Amino acid sequence: MNITNKTILVTGGGSGIGYATAKLLSEKGNKVIISGRNEEKLQKAANELGINYIVGDVTDVNAVKNLVGKLEANYSDLSILVNNAGLGFVYKLGEGANAVDKARQEFETNYFAPVRLIEALLPLLKKQPEAAIVNLTSNVAFHPLVVLPTYSDAKTALHSHSVTLRLTLSSDTNIKVFEVMPSLINTDATKDMGGEQHGLPPEVAAEDIYNGVAEDRYEIFVGEAGQQYTDYLADPKAAVAKFNQGLY
């Protein structure tokens, strides 16, 4: 897929993978818009990158309607949606874990929000001669991590949705659906997971996203995720045990 002179929305674009991806896409000659909840962070990022931003909480129905309305009014040539916004809690399941409340928040951000935004933007994306949806899941989408239990659940759900959406849209639209599965990336959100010590720079993920979409690789693995997926397919039980070694 050609990724030049495209109009692109990156959710959660104020920092981390979203910021790095927005930066690279802009440098490649695209018109990039970032969105997120924190206007101060978005404004700072947008000023640094020389791009535009729209404030909006993707978990809020009315905010999404407002976001879509602004895109339709000002960016009617939008052709790529990057669903990057995410939320995860580091904890273990068990008595007193409050897993239901954590899961609700994680599913709202990591699953329901992208599903809602995709559906709302489909009419706009369908108008373009070439379009794409890029969903960021995780290596925990194919094997769970015991210290990210309900985050793993939510990313697994988005993985399944991405597969179904890809097959559905391939029958009668020009919209391609990509899934990005990163291993640990060093961002503000991964500090509690050892991201600073063991995570890859977000720029690595951005490069892989750009190259993967350009090469029409619908499943894009970042860092160790590709080998982890291969190991999982070969021996799921052993791969999950290795992935969680020392954590349970």
- Residue range(s) defining the domain that contains residue 181: 7-243
> Is there a domain that residue 101 lies in?
yes
Q: Which of 190, 189, 207 is nearest to 199 (CA)?
A: 190
Question: Contact, 12 vs 56, CB < 8 A?
Answer: no
Q: Is the pLDDT of residue 69 over 90?
A: yes
Give residue 22's pLDDT: 98
Per-residue pLDDT of 206-219, as tens digits, reads 999 999 999 999 99
pTM of the model: 0.95
Per-residue pLDDT of 219-239, as tens digits, reads 999 999 999 999 999 999 999
> Is there a domain that residue 172 lies in?
yes
Q: Is the pLDDT of residue 80 over 70?
A: yes
> Is there a domain that residue 32 lies in?
yes
DSSP structure class, residue 200: B
DSSP reduced 3-state for 212: helix
> Is there a domain that residue 248 lies in?
no
Q: Is the pLDDT of residue 192 over 80?
A: no
DSSP structure class, residue 193: G
CATH of the domain at 88: 3.40.50.720
DSSP readout, 55-72?
E--TT-HHHHHHHHHHHH
Total domains, the chain: 1
| Mean pLDDT estimate for the chain | 95
Give residue 186's pLDDT: 81
Give residue 138's pLDDT: 97
> Is there a domain that residue 175 lies in?
yes
Give residue 38's pLDDT: 94
Where on the phi/psi map is residue 186: left (φ > 0), alpha (ψ -120 to 50), or beta? Answer: beta
> Is there a domain that residue 2 lies in?
no
DSSP structure class, residue 127: T
> Is there a domain that residue 26 lies in?
yes
> Is there a domain that residue 183 lies in?
yes
- The residues annotated as belonging to the active site are 151
